[in-house]
Structure 1
Amino acid sequence: MSHRHPRDRTVPVVLVAGHLGVGKSSLVNHLLRHADGTRIGVVVNDFGALGIDAMLVAGQADSVTSLANGCLCCTTDADGLSDLLADLTAPATGLDLVVVEASGLAEPRELVRLLLAPTDPHAVYGGLVVVLDAADPDLEQARLADLAVVNGLDRVDDPDAALATVRAVAAGAVVGTRHGALDPALLVDPVSRPKPAQLGLDELLREVDGPHAHDEAQSVSFSSEQPVDPGRLAAFLEAGPAGVVRAKGVVRLAGDGELWEVQTVGTAIRVRPAPVRAATSGARLVLIGTGLDEAGLIQALEGCVAGADDPEPTEHAALALTRYA
C-alpha cells in the first residue's frame, strides 16, 4: 500500500479497559518497552493510576510527559479527551498509535461513541481492548471487546480452558498473555526509524530485564486479480475470523468497481477510499494475529471473490462494506 500525504495521515486510537489489577499497566508498559521505533501516545487520568514505568519518563510539562523512547504520555479527564486526541493525532506529532486507558475517564461504551464520531480527521477508532483476568474473566466486558486480552495465563492450571471460556462469548478476537506481554504488531504496523547512536531506555531496560517474550504475531497474505463481493467480505470481517486480530489492505468491489482501503481490529471495521497509487484489479489483504489457520483463511477469502456465475450486484450492494466508512 502506498504512503499518503501527511495531511491525510490517520492515527489509530485504541481504548484499553479492564478491572483494577487485571494487567492494564503491564500491557501498556510492555507496548512502550517494545515500541522499536513506533511512537505511541498514552492518555491516562494520572500516572499513578496507570503506573507508567518511571524509567521511561524523561520529563513532565503540564499534562504532557515525554517518554524516553520517543513516545508521549498525557493526563486528562473525559471532557478534555477530544481536544487532546486532536492534538496527539495531528501530523506534526508523528505518533503512530494512541492508547487511551479507559478506567476513570468514562465508561468504555461512552469513549467508543466519542471516538466513532467524526470529530477529527486524523484520529480513527482503533478498537476496544479489554484486559481480562484469566482466573476470573468478566464475560460481560468480553462481549464488548474488539480484542479481548486474557492476561495471567501463567497463574491458571488450564490456560486453554480460560481462553475457551472467553472465546465462547466474545464477538471480537481473543488472545492470551502473561504479564501483559502483547505484541505491539497486533495493534499497529511496526515503524522503522533510524536508530540513535545510544540505546534508548526501552532497549536498555530490555537488556537489564532479559528477554520478556510475547507470542509473536503471525500474518497471512491474500491477493486476487478479481474484485470481491462486498457482502461476503463484510460477513467474513464481521465474524471475527479465528485468531485474526487485525486485517488491512485494499479491495476493489464487484459492481461499482470502486477501490477501498480496509482496516480492522477484531470486529471493529473501518474503510475509506483507497489512494490512487494503491490500485489493484482485485484484492490485497494481510491478516495479522496468533495461531492462524493459513489454509482456512485463504479458502474463506477466496470465497469472497466475485465469480462469473454470481448474480449482478444490486445498486446498493456495496453498502454492506462501505457503511463502515
Structure 2
Amino acid sequence: MRTVPVVLVAGHLGVGKSSLVNHLLRHADGVRIGVVVNDFGALGIDAMLVAGQASSVTSLAGGCLCCVTDADGLSAVLADLVAPATGLDLVVVEASGLAEPRELVRLLLASPDPHAVYGGLVSVVDARDPDLDHARLADLVVVNGLDLCPSAPAALEAVRSVAAGAVVGTSHGALDPALLVDPVRRPQPAQLTLDALLREADGEHPHVGAETVSFTSEQPLDAGRLAAFLESGPRGVVRVKGIVRLPDGGAAVPSEEVPDVWEVQTVGTAIRVRPAPGRLTTRGARLVLIGTGLDEAALCDGLSACVVGEDEAPPSEHAALALTRYRIDLATA
C-alpha cells in the first residue's frame, strides 16, 4: 500500500521556514508536494495567495497542492492529501500558528490513516541566535542564515552539541529535498513548468547536498543490536531505508506470522518496519543511510556490530521484538 511521508517544519517567525518551503517546491524535480500552511501570505508562491479560507486547496506548479487550515482541521486535510488519488509524494506542514511541534508529532504518530507516515520534524533556527530548545526536539535541524552570520561555525557547533538529530546549515532555506524524500522520475513536459521558469529567473541557491552511505551484509542482523543502533540516532543521519533479514525471523521456530525479511524505514529516531514485499529479499541486509556530514566508517562499523556471528546461539523466541515492536501493519491500520 502506498504511503506518503508527512514532514513538519517548525520555527520562529522570520527564521526562514517559508524560504525552505519555497526551495523545496522549486527544486522538487518531479516530486509532487502537498503543503499545509496557515500563515501563507509570506510564501512567495502566487497561487497560494488566493487560498484565503480554512481547508481551501490551491494547485501549484508541478502537480503540487497548497492547503490552508487550522489545527482542528489538520487531520481531515492530511487525509485528503495522502489519499492515493492525489498522487502526492510528500506533504509538508508549516507548523507556525497551527500547534506546538511536539503536539503535531504526536498527532502524526497516532494517525490511523494507513497512507500517512511520519516524515520527521524539521526545526528551522536562526544562525545568529539559534533556539536550542527547538533544536533538541528535531529529527533535522536547519541552521538558516549562514550568509548573515559572522560566526557560522560556532553557531553550527552550538546546535550540534544539543541536537539529537542531524544538523545542516543553509542560506535562504536552501535544503536539499533528497534529505526528506526520494527523487521521483516522471516524463518531462514539452515546455518548462512554472517552477522551472521561476528557477531560471531567480537563479540557483546552492544547497548542501545529501550524502548517502550504503551497507550490505551476507549474514542476518541481530534485532536487538540493530534496534539499539537505530534508536541511538546515528550522528548526521536523517533517514535509513532498506531490507534486513533476522535470523529465523527472530523466533526459535520460523512461521508465516514471523517473516524473516523486514523492510526498515527511519526518520531520525522514529522507526517503522513491516514484512518486506515478496519481490525484496536478501541473505543479510541492504541498507542506505541518508544525511549530511556522515562518518561512513563509523556508521558501517556500527552496523557491522549488528551482524550475527556464525558461533552465536540461536535467538530466543521473542528476540525480534526489539525491532518488530515498531511494526506498522497497513492492512489493518
TM-score range relative to shorter protein: over 0.9
Number of the residue aligned with 1:113: 106
Instruction: Point out where structure 2 has 5 or more consecutive residues left out of the alignment.
Output: 252-258, 328-333
Instruction: Decide whether the 8 Å contact of 2:172 with 2:205 is kept in 1.
Output: no
Alignment of 1:76-155 (within 5 A): 76-155=69-148
- 2:184 aligned with 1:191, yes or no? yes
Q: Over residues 98-118 of structure 1, what are the superposed CA-to-partner deviations in whole Å (9 max), with x where a residue is unaligned?
A: 001112111111111111114
Q: Which moved more, 1:73-82 or 1:237-246?
A: 237-246
Q: Give the partner amino acid of 2:43.
A: I
Number of the residue aligned with 1:242: 235
Q: Whole-Å Cα distance in 2 between the matches of residues 85 and 315 of structure 1?
A: 39
Q: Whole-Å Cα distance in 1 between the matches of residues 96 and 173 of structure 2?
A: 17
Q: Give the partner amino acid of 1:12.
A: P
Match of 1:230 among 203, 209, 223: 223
Count the aligned residue pairs. Answer: 316
Q: Over residues 50-69 of structure 1, what are the superposed CA-to-partner deviations in whole Å (9 max), with x where a residue is unaligned?
A: x2223465975970010012
Q: Give the partner amino acid of 1:186.
A: L
Instruction: Decide whether the 8 Å contact of 2:122 with 2:139 is kept in 1.
Output: yes
Alignment of 1:146-185 (within 5 A): 146-185=139-178
Classify the secondary structure of the residue corresponding to 1:137.
Answer: coil
RMSD, matched Cα: 1.7
Q: What TM-score do you get using the length of structure 2 for normalisation?
A: 0.90
Number of the residue aligned with 1:267: 269
Q: Whole-Å Cα distance in 2 between the matches of residues 197 and 116 of structure 1?
A: 40
Instruction: Summarize the Cα distance change of 1:164–1:309 in structure 2 as closer, same or farther, 3 Å threshold.
Output: farther
Match of 2:246 among 241, 253, 258: 253
Q: Whole-Å Cα distance in 2 between the matches of residues 58 and 139 of structure 1?
A: 32
Q: Whole-Å Cα distance in 1 between the matches of residues 52 and 184 of structure 2?
A: 27
Instruction: Decide whether the 8 Å contact of 2:165 with 2:236 is kept in 1.
Output: no
Instruction: Summarize the Cα distance change of 1:158–1:60 in structure 2 as closer, same or farther, 3 Å threshold.
Output: closer
Instruction: Decide whether the 8 Å contact of 1:234 with 1:320 is kept in 2.
Output: yes
Number of the residue aligned with 1:74: 67
Classify the secondary structure of the residue corresponding to 1:276.
Answer: coil
Shift of 1:289: 1.3
Q: Give the partner amino acid of 1:262.
A: V
Shift of 1:168: 1.1
Q: Give the partner amino acid of 1:288.
A: I
Instruction: Point out where structure 1 has 5 or more consecutive residues left out of the alignment.
Output: 1-7
Number of the residue aligned with 2:43: 52
Instruction: Summarize the Cα distance change of 1:310–1:218 in structure 2 as closer, same or farther, 3 Å threshold.
Output: same
Number of the residue aligned with 2:285: 283
